[in-house]
Chains A and B, each alone.
Chain A
């Protein structure tokens, strides 16, 4: 650990509180997230700003978040002072973006920062693509609650820092795809029923025509792993924040309905195949000695489906969500207390998963 890292507050369990929440529709929607892009008047956008300007922005953001009541107690990190494993921990918890932490060989740019409440996943990235990216994460399907928290943070920060705002275009952002409300709301959703019944394409294509977009999560680029999708609003201008949230919420509600129908069809039409798939996934996870991340995610998808359909009694879905976070490489390395190469990580992951499943009620 470097001297700089020693001066930063520890990462601890920051940003994981949403796992403990009551999660509405938690067997299908893992989490809900909202972010707002904001920039300050009088500065170039972060990519163009000088190192001094970025540092000045960082200090302004630090002062504004420390004064924001909605954050209760807040921790603030200058990303360059964090050690590399801590940066990856934050990435694996989806509290920072790849852009904010920079490439492994170069590290973050000067002035990159993260503010995070000590009690909830609510805070902001500083000097990412925009000066400020206010963000929050909630368990299950809770877009409206997430928006309310974020709106309050936005009011408090906007009263202290002068946002760049245009009468016609709204909140100004580095990329015109974010301008206006600067709002991107998304849900992280598990759709094995639609994938297994081959309806997923139809559903996803239908969404594209309604101002909503999707991508896979985890893995390189944005390919689909574990039947998990991220669905978000595509446009940010021309509608109120409430309308954007409401539109996404209604659409995701419909997708949840389709997913439930697909699961019912599978249970009715192919119960033996489905049960076999679920139990095989559970069996491998309980006994494997080496588990690559993507294999684990695909198997956990089967287990989550089994629990949701009551084919398995355990683990609870929140335990599965927790495993998806803690079985990522940086989290395993932190638990092991050392760097792990790929083979080590796969063995540690298998061991972690066995313990987690044994800790849950047996089936």
Chain B
């Protein structure tokens, strides 16, 4: 059946309205249904929001195609812009600055307020994980001669490894 509004596209949605004690049924295509406000358009879906942020002018500066890739999984800023998916948990450290800005726009905040998690699982010592992350970041900071960050990272590592 063709859409009863535009007559061009195929009708996919049956819209029934009641007005002045009269019922009217209209078979509409998705586009015309959207215009009449019955679309399932999803308001603004989080993923669409995210991609809009990534694709916009701000996205261009945040996740530069030519920018560096995650040293753990190799996911690059360009990959993330295309798929909206990060490659591994370490990507959050790799793209820390850009993600913090993105999260503020998508969620209105970058600070987790929910459950606090301390792993008690046998094969994860959170301190070890944190240490190895800090060490990787330190190596990286030295490599790119970001000595200010390197000094902070060294302090942080020292604080964790210091015997009380």
Residues of chain A touching chain B, judged by Cβ–Cβ distance below 8 Å, are 39, 41-45, 47-48, 129, 154, 158-172, 174-181, 183, 195-198, 200-201, 204-205, 207-208, 212-216, 219, 221-225, 229, 234-241, 243, 266, 269-270, 272-274, 276-277, 298
Contacts and interface: CB of A to CB of B under 8 A. Distances in A.
A234 B46 contact: yes
A208 B43 CA distance: 6
Nearest to A295: B14
Contacts of B44: 208, 213, 234
A336 to B, nearest CB: 27
B85 interface: yes
B76 to A, nearest CB: 12
B158 to A, nearest CB: 18
B50 to A, nearest CB: 5
Interface in B78-135: 83-89, 92-93, 99-100, 102-103, 106-115, 117, 119-121, 123-124, 126, 129
A41 B19 CA distance: 57
Contacts of A277: 16, 23
A164 B46 contact: no
B111 A223 contact: no
Contact of B112 (A39, A41, A44, A181): A181
The 6 closest A-B pairs by CB, nearest first: A238-B109, A170-B112, A216-B40, A162-B124, A201-B37, A164-B89
14 contacts: A41-B89, A41-B124, A42-B124, A45-B87, A45-B89, A129-B85, A165-B126, A166-B112, A169-B99, A177-B84, A221-B30, A222-B42, A234-B45, A269-B21
Contacts of B86: 45, 174-176
A172 B129 CA distance: 14
A129 to B, nearest CB: 7
A162 B121 contact: yes
Nearest to A273: B23
Contacts of A269: 18, 21
Given A44-B88, A269-B21, A276-B23, A177 B124 contact: no
Interface string B1-28: 0000000000011111111011100000
Contact of A213 (B36, B38, B46): B46
A43 B108 CA distance: 28
Given A181-B112, A197-B18, A234-B45, 5 more contacts: A45-B85, A162-B119, A169-B110, A178-B46, A273-B21
Nearest to B21: A270
A219 B11 CA distance: 13
